[in-house]
Each structure stands twice: as C-alpha cells, then as structure tokens.
C-alpha cells in the first residue's frame, strides 16, 4: 500500500525534524530565547507526524516479515496464523496512512480564534424572528456545553420573544473551528402557534460566522475611515432604557459597512464592541476576496457556499434536521435546538477533510502539517 508521493513528503518532514533536534542540541541555541521558542514550536508541529511515520515504517517491516512467512509456510495452521497477522498489520498500515494524510492537511489559521456569530431574521415575519431567537439560544447552549464563554454583544428584539438581529461572541480554544460551518441560510418548516388552519409555514434566518481579529491584524483609521454616531439606547418597541446617549453606530466609509451596538452601561464599551465586530467583518471581506481568487482552482464543498445559500432545514412535522451541503439528516429537532449540534458539526468537519484530502492526493506538492492556508 505504499504511496511514493506521500512517503516522499513524510521523509522530508522526518529530515526537518532531525535537523531541528540537531539545532536545539547546539550550545549557542540554549542562550537564544527566540531561537528556542521558534524551534520548540517547529518541533511540536513535526513530532506527532514524524512519530506516526516512523511507526508506519515499523509496521511495514513487520508486514514484510509476515508476508514472507505466509508465502514460505507449508503447515496450514501456521499459514492461517500468518494470514491473520498479515490482515491485522495491513489494517493498521491503512489506519496510519489515513491519519497521516489528515495530519498533512493545511490547518485553517483561524481555527483557534474566538468567533462572532450574527443571526438575522429572514423571510417569514414574526415566525422568522422567533426562529432567529431559537437559533441564538441553540448556539448559546452549544457554547455552554463546550465550556466556551459567550457575550451577547447586541440584541434587537421584536417584543414578543423574537429577534430581528443578534450578535453573539463565543470565546474559547477552537471556537471558530467548531462553528465556522454554521454560516448560511437556516430554514424552519412548522405550524406556527398563531396558525389556526394547521398549515405549515416556511421561514428563514441568516447566520454569519466571523473569526474575531485583533486590532493589529485589521488596521482602521478612525479619523479618516469612520463616521461614529451616538444616540440614546432603546429597548423593544423603541422604549427608552436609560437617560444617556450610549448607543454607538459606526459607519466604515470605504466599504459602507455599518455596525450598531447599544449597551445601557457604557458608551465606551459599545464603541469597543462595535469596532471588534467591524474588524471581523472587514477581515471576512478580505477572506472572501481570497476565496474568490482561488475559486477557479479549488472549490471546497462545505465552505464555499455564500450567505444566500440554504444550508440547513429544521422540519418540525417530520422531526428532521437536514444539512443540505452533505446530505446528513438527524431526526431530533428539539435536541438540535437545545444545542446538540456535534453530530452535524462532526459530519461537516469529516466532509471538509475528505474534500481536502482529495485535493491533497491530486496535488504534486503536499502542504506541511499545520501550514497556514487561506480558503
């Protein structure tokens, strides 16, 4: 089952690993903190891949011995034992090869970031607003189950339990890696509580998932590029909730992006949150431009859909949640809306890996493990 292309890539990584060890062993390296840090990161990146590659070499050596025994043995009982060992070693070789292919996939540099989730009611009036509220609760519950910290940055309610728009920050290691496939149009099919005839209605909500970025990553000239308007914060139905001008509306003049955040406690806090959301939106625009430039070469099945594309349907009459990108269906609408998203997210991650593995196999030059990629 040898793959000469894969073996060549792995052998190159093993040589890199040995070179890093040699450099770390030099006396002059121990007195250079920056070099120690850089080499330590490189070692951590390479070590698990090289360990698996060397284990693969040992398994193949054992397999060659078992095959020799199988071909040379004349005793049927011993031949059966050798055949069983060959089958076990071939299965182990296959698992190691698949694991190594996954480890060679380029890593999304945004995976460890915090994430900003924007939810907006779409078509369907009040029913859409109620569905948007349920999605907000779903992601909040999911975050809590995974011990992520949440901060509701903005909430625009309809007054009877629905929301027009909400912005939720989800903070924690790997938050973006788990939620990045949630962006798109979510559709609900059910009989609204106000529907007397029992007719099923279809409503939608749009989810936007943005990696949170630092100030240094997206520079904003507040003087030249921003118009900042301050107004009185308001609650549902326009009711005043405080007596100070605390709501902040920021317009990014070069792009026309608008972010409005209101918090009855602090105007400064509102401005900081609005700038954080704006930076993430600008960063997302940069990524979208890169994806567009690369789309002629590669179109990822899971990630390439735009925000107008329907990605998932929540069908209450059939108790069915279907992700249309990968054709996965789960018969547990209440559980999913309670935050039990892992079966869907895991399936999306696996589909994305399979798609990228296909591209890795077809390419002549494979990426290094953990190498940044803009996709």
- Kindly report, residue by residue over 220-278, the tens digit of the pLDDT: 888 788 888 887 766 544 444 444 567 888 898 888 888 888 875 678 888 888 888 88
Q: Which backbone phi and psi does 231 adopt, to 5 degrees?
A: -145, 175
Between the alpha carbon of residue 340 and those of residues 91, 133, 204, 328, 334, the distances in Å are 33, 16, 20, 15, 9
Long-range contacts of 253-259 (CB under 8 A, 24+ apart): 253/224, 253/225, 253/226, 253/227, 254/225, 255/282, 255/285, 257/281, 257/282
List strand residue ranges (DSSP E) for 163-293, in order: 163-171, 184-190, 201-211, 226-231, 247-252, 257-261
Give the span between the Cα atoms of 182 and 324, in whole angstroms: 12
pLDDT at 103: 81
How many DSSP H helices and E strands does the chain contain? 9, 11
Whether pTM > 0.75 for this model: the answer is no
Structural domains of the chain ordered from first start: 4-104 (1.20.58), 109-212+309-375 (3.30.70.1660), 216-295 (3.30.160.20)
What are the Cα distances from residue 180, in Å, to 108, 165, 218, 284, 349? 10, 19, 20, 12, 10
pLDDT digits (tens, 9 = 90+) for 87-114: 999 999 999 988 888 788 777 778 888 9
Q: What percent of the chain has pLDDT over 90?
A: 45
Residue 366: pLDDT band with limits 50, 70, 90 = very low
């Amino acid at each position: 089952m040898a793959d000469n292309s894969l073996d060549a890539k792995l052998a190159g990584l093993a040589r890199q690993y040995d070179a890093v060890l040699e450099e770390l062993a030099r006396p002059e390296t121990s007195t250079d903190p920056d070099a120690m840090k850089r080499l330590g990161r490189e070692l951590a990146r390479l070590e698990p891949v090289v360990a698996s590659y060397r284990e693969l070499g040992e398994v193949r050596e054992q397999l060659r011995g078992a095959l020799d025994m199988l071909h040379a043995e004349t005793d049927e009982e011993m031949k059966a034992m050798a055949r069983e060992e060959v089958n076990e070693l071939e299965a182990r070789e296959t698992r190691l090869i698949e694991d190594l292919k996954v480890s060679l996939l380029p890593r999304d540099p945004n995976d460890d970031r915090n994430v900003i989730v924007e939810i907006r009611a779409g078509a369907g009036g009040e029913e859409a607003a109620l569905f948007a509220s349920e999605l907000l609760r779903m992601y909040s519950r999911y975050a809590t189950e995974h011990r992520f910290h949440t901060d509701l940055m903005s909430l625009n309610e309809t007054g009877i339990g629905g929301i027009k728009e909400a912005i939720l920050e989800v903070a924690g290691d790997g938050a973006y890696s788990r939620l990045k496939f949630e962006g798109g149009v979510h559709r609900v099919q059910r009989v609204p509580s106000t529907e007397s005839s029992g007719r099923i209605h279809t409503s939608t909500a749009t989810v936007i998932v943005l990696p949170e970025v630092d100030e240094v990553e997206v520079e904003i000239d507040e003087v030249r590029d921003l118009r900042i308007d301050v107004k009185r914060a308001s609650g549902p139905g326009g009711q005043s909730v405080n007596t100070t001008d605390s709501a902040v509306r920021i317009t990014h003049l070069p792009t026309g992006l608008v972010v409005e955040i209101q918090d009855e406690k602090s105007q400064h806090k509102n401005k900081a949150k609005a700038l954080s959301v704006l930076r993430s939106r600008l960063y997302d625009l940069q990524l979208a431009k890169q994806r567009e430039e690369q789309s002629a070469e590669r179109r990822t099945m899971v990630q390439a859909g735009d925000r107008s594309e329907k990605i998932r349907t929540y069908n209450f009459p059939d108790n069915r949640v279907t992700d249309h990108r990968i054709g996965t269906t789960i018969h547990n609408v209440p559980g999913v809306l309670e935050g039990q998203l892992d079966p869907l997210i895991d399936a999306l991650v696996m589909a994305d890996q399979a798609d990228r593995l296909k591209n890795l196999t077809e390419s002549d030059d494979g990426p290094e493990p953990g190498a940044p990629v803009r996709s």
